[in-house]
Structure 1
């Protein structure tokens, strides 16, 4: 009897490990479907958060509140397009037309600098790579079309999930043995809470970073500063990689004015990343998920290799969910180790 009891923790660890391996193989085989489902979950979490906000201050039911939220989002988006659509389109068109000139100024500056010969070799290699990429334009267009279809499915699926979250949650729990349903329900709730907190904090950080970056570039006299601020805000959703990609066009456009302005644009992005990393994120995410930077970087490349570009975009929220599930199901439940669960005040495993 005692030996059977002592074997239970070991058996539990083996079963959890086998389940994780099986889950990994399933994800590999159904990667596109998994990505669409997870994107729908992210959309549903955002919508459900807005629904909770509406029901908190009104007597509306969840279903009616969801309808109100969807109407407000559509009307709000239409108003933004009516008020700023032409300006945004103009900024983006100016950006498109200015980049070739900016690239030419950058090459002239490099040719005149001591790094010119070395940089020219790297530019030639980049040009060859871009030429090879252009030859695959048809395949890239088909891929973009597929990604657009996936995005539509994510939005529609997210609306359905947000309309009846309890139905889908209970349905998922019924896939597990009865004695495990309470544990899985707790794990789902913990990951949902962490994801909701992370998304809210990230959206706020995107707004702040995009606004301050646009103002900083405008103060320096960088062309198309407003458009660059929008790009920075959108790309900031992808940690680490996004800000680097956003800085490239800003620095190039700075060269159309002067090398000093280009260096100033680079300084704006460096300063903003320091502010975001050391001020914004600790304040915003202190009750959410503090992901280790190394783990986040590895997940970006790993999930990106598995799912492609859409995977890179959703890598951070996916890492949040996996991080919480591993903590709750493996570290706490299987190993019996006390650990704080992100999004909660208490330490689990006591």
Structure 2
């Protein structure tokens, strides 16, 4: 009897150890492959964007494949035509905007340095013998408050490698999206087939719900981006702001990143305004505040009425965690990724395992 008990305990200990090792190995693999997994999810997100744009065509009665490929062809023609007809102008305006931002960063650094806060350049010129001591005040210098311009504007070779790497990632994302659009059922059936038959139907339903959630998030975000772009462009154009189109374009694109994107978009607007005059900077700040008001009180409620939304704390927390772990790409894809994960957690864990979402009446006395 004692031997049987010991054998049973040994068997259970072996199973637990194997499960722990398997989970650890899986976590390590996911961590090592996190950048590639983000690119795969980027392909899923691009496919969801195409699906969202194809919905009106499907509502009109077109078959699914026809609707999808019409959208893909339209996007290719629109992007290619835009680059062909306006590419040179956009590049020229972007270079002008880049130089303006660079000059304003240097001017802002000089202004703060003149106010008595030592900067790295000032310490070097003073030979490190100023009032702050032998360290030249670097511990309290401007480089602790503002990014170093020499670090922001890297060498041409580094920029070229970054551009090539970015283009490679873009091609990976685009081809993943194309393959998913062409044959989505193959990948869906393959994933569901990895699980026991008793779980397949429920898992298939959950994948469908997650896909719908991602499409709804894309629709809501697209509405917000369009409203931010239009309102920003009209406001900056009426104020006479230079490179108004590019500033509005970057504001609309950064609206893709909830919470953090709008804040980042306001910085170039104010800096370009400073390159003209203080009054133009004030106008830029006012337009930025107006755009945020329109987005918070008009765009987001309008989008969330028909689409999906996440709690603000969850949104900001996910961006902070993914930003620390995975960098800029993690910040950009944190919210849609969490939206998809939440569907699986809600359906497969909260509903199926725990019995549903908590209700205050559940804890009430009978």
Query: Taking structure 2 as the reference length, what is the TM-score of the superposition?
Result: 0.77
Question: Which one of the candidate residues 57, 60, 76 is aligned to 2:60?
Answer: 57
The answer to whether the Cα contact below 8 Å between 1:173 and 1:185 also exists between their aligned partners in 2 is yes
Q: Does 1:171 align with 2:190?
A: yes
C-alpha spacing 1:20/1:272, structure 2 compared with 1 (3 Å): farther
| Structure 1 spans left out of the alignment, 5+ residues | 1-13, 341-350
Aligned to 1:157: 176
Aligned to 2:46: 43
Distance 1:30 1:111 in 2: 44
Question: Which one of the candidate residues 74, 77, 83 is aligned to 2:76?
Answer: 74
Aligned to 1:267: 286
- After TM superposition, give the deviation of residue 42 of structure 1 in Å: 0.8
Aligned to 2:221: 202
The answer to whether the Cα contact below 8 Å between 1:106 and 1:252 also exists between their aligned partners in 2 is no
Aligned to 1:221: 240
Q: Does 1:324 align with 2:336?
A: no
Q: Does 1:282 align with 2:284?
A: no
**Relative contact order (alpha carbons < 8 A, sep ≥ 6): 1 or 2 greater?**
1
For 1:225-276, what per-residue CA distance to the aligned partner results, in whole angstroms no more than 9, with x for missing partners? Answer: 1110111111111112212221111111111222232123122222212221
Q: How many residues align?
A: 321
- After TM superposition, give the deviation of residue 296 of structure 1 in Å: 0.9
Distance 1:135 1:104 in 2: 15
RMSD between superposed Cα atoms in Å: 3.1
The answer to whether the Cα contact below 8 Å between 1:232 and 1:246 also exists between their aligned partners in 2 is yes
C-alpha spacing 1:172/1:261, structure 2 compared with 1 (3 Å): same
The answer to whether the Cα contact below 8 Å between 1:303 and 1:315 also exists between their aligned partners in 2 is yes
Q: Does 1:99 align with 2:71?
A: no
| Structure 2 spans left out of the alignment, 5+ residues | 1-15, 120-139, 360-366
Aligned to 1:343: none
For 1:38-85, what per-residue CA distance to the aligned partner results, in whole angstroms no more than 9, with x for missing partners? Answer: 1111111222334443343255x4334433332222122233334433
The answer to whether the Cα contact below 8 Å between 2:224 and 2:299 also exists between their aligned partners in 1 is yes
The answer to whether the Cα contact below 8 Å between 1:43 and 1:158 also exists between their aligned partners in 2 is yes
- After TM superposition, give the deviation of residue 191 of structure 1 in Å: 1.3
Paired residue secondary structure (1:337): coil
Aligned to 1:243: 262
- How does 1:136-155 map onto structure 2 within 5 Å? 142-155=161-174
Bigger CA radius of gyration:
2
Aligned to 1:33: 36
The answer to whether the Cα contact below 8 Å between 1:236 and 1:242 also exists between their aligned partners in 2 is yes
